[in-house]
Structure 1
Amino acid sequence: MKNDTLLVHAGRDPQAHAGMVNTPVFRTSTVIFPTLASYQDRKSHGDKFVRYGRHGTPTTYAFEEAVASLEGGYKTAAVPNGLAAIVASLTAYARPGAHLLMPDSVYTPARRFCEGRLASWGVRTEFYAPRIGAGIAGRLTPDTVAVYCESPGSQTFEVQDIPAIAAAAHARGIPVIADNTWATPYFLRPFELGVDVSIHAATKYIGGHSDLMMGVITANETHWDAIHKAVDDLGYSVSPDDCYQGLRGLRTLGVRLRQQMGNAVEVARWLERQPQVAAVNYPALESHPDHALWRRDFGGAASLFAVELRPEWGGRVQALVDSLTLFGIGSSWGGYESLVNLVQAGASRTATAWTPAGPVLRLHVGMEDPQDLIADLKQGFSAAAS
């Protein structure tokens, strides 16, 4: 089935729930069994058997099944947030003496987890240039347990050649983990590119309404047991109410993404033409150095990108941001509303340099009319200039 059809039908079984089109919210901690033998034999019923609330309910399983179908993976585990998805996926392979490869453009909390907690467990993390591609083979060692990708990279939006990275890693029997939050499974099916474990902050586009905290981890059949055990060992669980919200967000994911991409492209192209702007880091633009790679692997683009301003705007950027009325100042992205934030350019990179000439803004373009957003930016530039 095509993505839009999957979004409507995945994870739904109305006849199993008295004909209700949406899977109901099942709330429970305790599950009662009819006999002692059935209680003791509960594990033989498989992953979707409801045996204790921490392990999930039919609502949880419906959401996880829908995500796995969209991703093209074997199974999915829901966890409390995006960072929990990162932590569990890395913990699944962590061991003393292990070597882990992470892109230098990785999400900063993921870097902190590697440099802090994983280092204390005896795991050595090496950060590599995001655009290394097949050159990753030269970084692999006998102790390498996983290669992690994030494409596009946080803040800088480099697109990684995941098929080339996966081919090199798989030649040595090493799994590839990828953060697919930006593209979502609607615009990128990671397992078709060679990824073994795909993670998301479902807080973002999957939830879609800025009212949900959740992460998901999808694995292929080979790596599912390791992921499932790590999630269980860490004690992660997600409320059925949140899984219901996640399912509701999934149903409109395609419609929202298509509109937000269209809005973002219009706003980004306008910004490219402004004299105050040095560069727009957005793979959907022809000017982006990885545009061809993005066109090869992705079916579309998220509505999140970065804007590099010219050096003289260093003293004006706060006035610019404060004067905006439609772009809210806040963390997160992927909701229906537009957001703006100031990027600490290059602050967390160690293997490669990113030194923009001026201040960098990260924009998330929501579902407002793009002409209204452009007008807001235009008045912001005027207010800050004066």
Structure 2
Amino acid sequence: MNQPHSTDTLLAHEGRAHGQPGSPVNPPVYRQSTLLFHGTDALDAVRGTPLAYGRHGSPTTRALEKALARLEGAHAALLTPSGLSAITTALLAVLNPGDHLLMADSVYDPTRSFCDETLARLGIETTYYDPSIGAGIASLMRQNTRAVFTESPGSLTFEVQDIPAICRIAHQHDAVVLLDNTWGTPLNFRSFSHGVDVSIHAATKYIAGHSDVLMGVILITEALAQKVTRCYRQLGMTVSGDDAYLALRGLRTLSVRLERHQRNAHVLTEWLARQPEVAQILYPARPGDAGHALWQRDFTGACGLFGLVLHPQPDDAVRALLDGMTCFGMGYSWGGFESLIIPSNPSRHRTATPWLAAGPLLRIHAGLEHPDDMIADLDAGFARMRAAAAALAEA
């Protein structure tokens, strides 16, 4: 498809073979390691290219990469075995010993561990910054600052970053900007239109969408394509044809799923806002949220992930809320069809901006269930919490 089309049409058509009589609607799954060639001339012709060996990809993986790059406006896409491996590969590609990295303080905790341990061992210094800093990041730039890593919104505390302002300052200092865009997805935040150099997704989440695939994707500009691809190849990054097929199949319904996730999140947050135990809702798409103005300016939609801060409650009362849920599962990750709820404590992972909420934080993913059923489950959970708190007060 060479002509511009709407996003929904691109989702349905990209990564497919068009114009070939008798071709299947979905690209076949290629399972491959060794690839055979007819003669030494043919072997020599592919030496050192992605066509030489199965680790470098297959028609199935390349179909998914092409579709993702087209959707987000990237020069190229590279698939990795997980979202974390996409982050670590991209950071290793753009940093060298002696470099300085600026990292959002709200970042995914495994990313922080990689910076504090692996990058530190390689002689790369990380400074954590307030995610709401915007253009103020200029005060943290050094002569050796080579990269600024952003996560917008933060996946636990949901701060929306001023990505255009950060990109402008970073580029003035010859630093590249990387973004974990998993919450935004390629549909709701167009990274490269806002100045980002490397956009990263945990395709495990909304792109695949069914909680049965682990995958990451690195999307890159033409200027960084050679550098990032070289590091990616040297680290042996690859995904199977089966996983690529599942992710590509999930991608086809990304738009309709996101619409439902966002609608359900809206219904849930409206109900939760009326509960006396709720101190704050962390959801940028909600008017009144600290990041709402930036979200409204830069994003075209939202997803189903949000945070809920309760007024101070005894630990056992919060456990009573969580332990009896039937519609909501309790598990890590998000972006699948199922609703999830987990407790979280951001204060354990912050160094630049202390987490000051007095009460517990719950992270909620609104899945594809009917919102009435989700509300009934939450309502029963709040009743259990109230009963447990009252019993503890009387003890």
Specify the TM-score bucket, using the shorter chain as the normaliser. Answer: over 0.9
Contact 2:155–2:183 (CA under 8 A) maintained in structure 1: no
| Distance in 2 between residues matched to 1:289 and 1:313, nearest whole Å | 27
Q: Aligned letter for 1:350?
A: T
Deviation string 1:295-341 (CA, Å, 9 cap, x unpaired) is: 10101111001100011354410000012110001111000000000
Residue 90 (str. 1) matches residue 96 (str. 2): no
Over 3 Å counting, the alpha-carbon distance change for 1:155 and 1:92 in structure 2 is same
Which residue pairs with 1:71 in the alignment?
Answer: 72
For normalisation by structure 2, the TM-score amounts to 0.95
| Distance in 1 between residues matched to 2:151 and 2:328, nearest whole Å | 26
Contact 1:81–1:214 (CA under 8 A) maintained in structure 2: yes
Which residue pairs with 2:226 in the alignment?
Answer: 225
Residue 28 (str. 1) matches residue 32 (str. 2): yes
Which residue pairs with 1:156 in the alignment?
Answer: 157
Contact 2:272–2:278 (CA under 8 A) maintained in structure 1: yes
Contact 1:17–1:23 (CA under 8 A) maintained in structure 2: no
SS in 2 for 1:307: strand
Deviation string 1:210-255 (CA, Å, 9 cap, x unpaired) is: 1000000010100111111111111111000000011000000000
Which residue pairs with 1:102 in the alignment?
Answer: 103
Q: Aligned letter for 2:342?
A: N
Shift of 1:172: 1.7
Contact 2:160–2:294 (CA under 8 A) maintained in structure 1: yes
Q: Aligned letter for 2:278?
A: V
Shift of 1:345: 2.9
Residue 19 (str. 1) matches residue 20 (str. 2): no
For normalisation by structure 1, the TM-score amounts to 0.97
Contact 1:14–1:22 (CA under 8 A) maintained in structure 2: no
SS in 2 for 1:41: helix
| Distance in 2 between residues matched to 1:313 and 1:345, nearest whole Å | 18
Deviation string 1:190-216 (CA, Å, 9 cap, x unpaired) is: 000000000000000001001000000
Over 3 Å counting, the alpha-carbon distance change for 1:295 and 1:43 in structure 2 is farther
SS in 2 for 1:312: coil
Shift of 1:354: 1.0
Residue 177 (str. 1) matches residue 178 (str. 2): yes
User: Identical aligned pairs, as a percentage?
Assistant: 50
Which residue pairs with 1:114 in the alignment?
Answer: 115
Which residue pairs with 2:390 in the alignment?
Answer: none
| Distance in 2 between residues matched to 1:353 and 1:64, nearest whole Å | 38
Which residue pairs with 2:393 in the alignment?
Answer: none
Contact 1:328–1:340 (CA under 8 A) maintained in structure 2: yes
Contact 1:282–1:288 (CA under 8 A) maintained in structure 2: yes
Which residue pairs with 1:248 in the alignment?
Answer: 249
Shift of 1:14: 4.1
Shift of 1:57: 0.6
| Distance in 2 between residues matched to 1:64 and 1:93, nearest whole Å | 21
**How many residues end up aligned between the 2 structures?**
383
| Distance in 2 between residues matched to 1:233 and 1:53, nearest whole Å | 14
SS in 1 for 2:313: helix
Which residue pairs with 1:362 in the alignment?
Answer: 363
SS in 2 for 1:263: helix
SS in 2 for 1:320: helix
Residue 145 (str. 1) matches residue 149 (str. 2): no
Which residue pairs with 1:323 in the alignment?
Answer: 324
Which residue pairs with 1:10 in the alignment?
Answer: 14
Shift of 1:18: 4.0
Shift of 1:53: 0.5
Over 3 Å counting, the alpha-carbon distance change for 1:345 and 1:25 in structure 2 is same
Over 3 Å counting, the alpha-carbon distance change for 1:26 and 1:15 in structure 2 is farther
Which residue pairs with 1:41 in the alignment?
Answer: 45
SS in 1 for 2:359: coil
Q: How does 1:269-288 map to 2 (within 5 A)?
A: 269-288=270-289
| Distance in 1 between residues matched to 2:61 and 2:21, nearest whole Å | 14
Runs (4+) of structure 1 moved beyond 6 Å?
none
Which residue pairs with 2:53 in the alignment?
Answer: 52
| Distance in 2 between residues matched to 1:55 and 1:162, nearest whole Å | 32
Shift of 1:287: 1.7
Contact 2:94–2:146 (CA under 8 A) maintained in structure 1: yes
| Distance in 1 between residues matched to 2:22 and 2:140, nearest whole Å | 55
Deviation string 1:118-166 (CA, Å, 9 cap, x unpaired) is: 0000000000000111111111111111111000012110000000000
Relative to structure 2, which stretch is displaced further, 13-22 or 3-12? 13-22
| Distance in 2 between residues matched to 1:291 and 1:165, nearest whole Å | 18
Q: Aligned letter for 1:29?
A: S
Over 3 Å counting, the alpha-carbon distance change for 1:371 and 1:116 in structure 2 is same
| Distance in 2 between residues matched to 1:187 and 1:345, nearest whole Å | 26
Which residue pairs with 1:207 in the alignment?
Answer: 208
Shift of 1:16: 5.0
SS in 1 for 2:349: coil
Listed as ranges, the gaps of 5+ residues in structure 2 are 388-395
SS in 1 for 2:376: helix
Relative to structure 2, which stretch is displaced further, 283-292 or 8-17? 8-17
Which residue pairs with 1:216 in the alignment?
Answer: 217
Shift of 1:344: 1.4
Shift of 1:15: 4.2
Listed as ranges, the gaps of 5+ residues in structure 1 are none
| Distance in 1 between residues matched to 2:361 and 2:372, nearest whole Å | 22
